Amino acid sequence: MRPGVATVGAVHATALLLGLAGLAGTLWQGVAEPGNALAFGTLVALGELARWGAHPGEREPAPLAAAGALAYALLGNAAGTATTHGVLQILAVTVAGGLAGIVPHIARGRGPDRDHLARRILTVAFAALCFQPLYNSGAVAGHLDPGLPYALFLLLVLVLTGLCDAVLAALLLHARTAYPYGPLLRDELRALLGIGSAVCATGVVMALGVAAAGLWALPVLAVPLLLTQVSFRRYTAVRTVNRQTIASLARATEIAGCTPPGHARRVADLSAAVGRELGLGGADLTVLEYAALMHDIGQLSLVDPVAGGATALLPAEEQRRIALLGGEVVRMTGVPAAVALVVERQADPYREQPVPARIVRAVNAYDDLAGEGAATALEALERLRLGTARDYHPEVVACLARVLARGGRPGMTSVPTG
């Protein structure tokens, strides 16, 4: 069994055992404060139902469900009355509410990502273990005033819970993709400033609101997060359309017969994998993907097409001319200037190139030179290695070889590196 598969399996198994323990413990001991449990369970279920319209790859497709579960984990008082529910009941309500909310999605054949469910159970368990034992033992009430000190304590638990979730998310992605863990963790921590911070803040505010005003605070406090979710979905939809538009523009070279079918998409996918291997993330990866998709668009300005669209076989001056023509075209499309810069610089000596341009040049050359067989792929890699004195950055070529050795991307044939 591959280490990544074992890691994912261990995380899922831990979440499953915790969920089963919560359900079994609650059934054995009985439900404390059934009204509170029903209210928060319903909130979690509604949050899961609201995941309709979620886009693939969203960091938190059901933010209301996550906020409701977190709020129940941090609930101490309800309308001024101390609660007695514990960690096991929190897990039981989280699991039961989540299952109730995902049944309609499963019926439509669109079940939720198991990684997201495992992360929610584990992070809610972490938050509950940080808060509930201290609260139920009287340590919180005995040492903290109910005002600002108590809110700061919840904020501390919130920060630790956010870190826990980011570590888990990066760990699962690292196990599934074998990308370097450090850059993945940085991306997850950066994502906490977006929808993650809204989820955590809403969870804490819900816990404080129910403590002061009772369960009536839940629907009132849920509305802002729902509006945030709608806005975030619209923003994601706009980005998706933007990416699709750029991909369509990139296919113009294929439709015109300038490049082989699928060349731009292959270069973009492999460039993104190499960029991850080098530690790129966030906006840098987006620029890299867009530039890789449009790297050959300068060929549309040529009177005589390049044989087979293989610009890597052309003289350096001709490669440079096509790259500059491509940069001019890209600037006229309204794509960010950083993308045009990468397209323009892809034919420069690597010591003068930004990192994304180094990646695009090496990956484009590999796709131009590689054929269908492993032997031809090895020959292409060897030619790139021989060109590391001027044309191709040695570290980029080494990362490309590692990515190819792992399979690179879905549908790519693995090749040896030795």
Range of the domain at 398: 251-405
Q: Confirm whether 412 is domain-assigned.
A: no
Of the ranges 214-218, 223-227, 356-360, 409-413, which one carries the lowest mean pLDDT score? 409-413
Last residue of a domain, one of 194, 209, 239: 239
pLDDT of 135 reads: 85
Q: Confirm whether 266 is domain-assigned.
A: yes
Q: Confirm whether 116 is domain-assigned.
A: yes
| Mean pLDDT for the stretch of residues 311-331 | 85
Q: Which amino acid is at 356?
A: P
| Mean pLDDT for the stretch of residues 128-144 | 82
| pLDDT for 91 beyond 90 | yes
Together in a domain, 148 and 275: no
Q: Confirm whether 246 is domain-assigned.
A: no
pLDDT higher at 228 or 37:
37
Angle between helices 34-49 and 87-107 (to 10 degrees): 30
**The tokens of 119 are what?**
């992360």
Together in a domain, 187 and 309: no
Together in a domain, 296 and 192: no
CA 37, distance to chain mean position in Å, is 31
Express each pLDDT in 288-309 by its tens digit.
Answer: 999 999 888 888 877 677 777 7
If one counts the domains in the chain, the total is: 2
Asked if residue 340 lies in contact with residue 294, where contact means CB atoms within 8 angstroms, the answer is no
Together in a domain, 39 and 182: yes
Q: Which amino acid is at 381?
A: L
pLDDT higher at 26 or 239:
26
Q: Which of 3-7, 14-18, 111-115, 152-156 has the highest mean pLDDT?
A: 14-18
Q: How many residues does the chain have?
A: 418
Rounded to a whole number, what is the distance in angstroms from the first to the last CA of the chain? Answer: 23
Q: Confirm whether 413 is domain-assigned.
A: no
Last residue of a domain, one of 239, 265, 290: 239
pLDDT of 54 reads: 59
pLDDT of 372 reads: 53
Together in a domain, 30 and 147: yes
Rg of the chain over all Cα atoms, to the nearest angstrom:
26
| pLDDT for 52 beyond 80 | no
| Mean pLDDT for the stretch of residues 248-272 | 85
110 pLDDT tier (thresholds 50, 70, 90) = confident
Last residue of a domain, one of 211, 239, 267: 239
Q: Confirm whether 410 is domain-assigned.
A: no
Together in a domain, 231 and 257: no
* SS3 per residue for the chain: CCHHHHHHHHHHHHHHHHHHHHHHHHHHHCCCCHHHHHHHHHHHHHHHHCCCCCCCCCCCCCHHHHHHHHHHHCCCEECCEECCCCHHHHHHHHHHHHHHHHHHHHHCCCCCCHHHHHHHHHHHHHHHHHHHHHHHCCHHHHHCCCCHHHHHHHHHHHHHHHHHHHHHHHHHHHHHHCCCHHHHHHHHHHHHHHHHHHHHHHHHHHHHHHHHHCCCHHHHHHHHHHHHHHHHHHHHHHHHHHHHHHHHHHCHHHHCCCCCCCHHHHHHHHHHHHHHHHCCCCHHHHHHHHHHHCCCHHHHHCCCCCHHHCHHHCCHHHHHHHHHHHHHHHHHCCCCHHHHHHHHHCCCCHHHCCHHHHHHHHHHHHHHHCCCCHHHHHHHHHHHHHCCCCCCCHHHHHHHHHHHHCCCCCCCCCCCCC
Together in a domain, 215 and 261: no
Of the ranges 53-57, 59-63, 271-275, 282-286, which one carries the lowest mean pLDDT score? 53-57
Express each pLDDT in 361-388 by its tens digit.
Answer: 999 989 888 865 555 788 888 888 888 8
The dihedrals phi and psi of 82, each to the nearest 5 degrees, come to: -65, 140
pLDDT of 415 reads: 37
Together in a domain, 139 and 47: yes
Angle between helices 337-345 and 283-293 (to 10 degrees): 60
- The pairs formed by 142-148 with CB atoms below 8 angstroms and a separation of 24 or more are none
Together in a domain, 227 and 266: no
**The tokens of 396 are what?**
């980029």
| pLDDT for 5 beyond 70 | yes
pLDDT of 178 reads: 77
| pLDDT for 165 beyond 50 | yes
Share of the chain above pLDDT 90, in %: 25
| pLDDT for 237 beyond 80 | no
Q: Confirm whether 82 is domain-assigned.
A: yes
Q: How far is CA 241 from CA 42, 175, 234, 244, 300, in A?
A: 34, 30, 11, 5, 23
Of the ranges 8-17, 90-99, 193-202, 259-268, which one carries the lowest mean pLDDT score? 193-202
Together in a domain, 26 and 130: yes
Residue-averaged pLDDT of the chain: 83
Together in a domain, 285 and 382: yes
pLDDT higher at 32 or 389:
32
Q: Which residues contact 30 (CB under 8 A, 6 or more apart)?
A: none
Together in a domain, 83 and 133: yes
410 pLDDT tier (thresholds 50, 70, 90) = very low
Share of the chain above pLDDT 70, in %: 91
CATH code where residue 268 lies: 1.10.3210.10
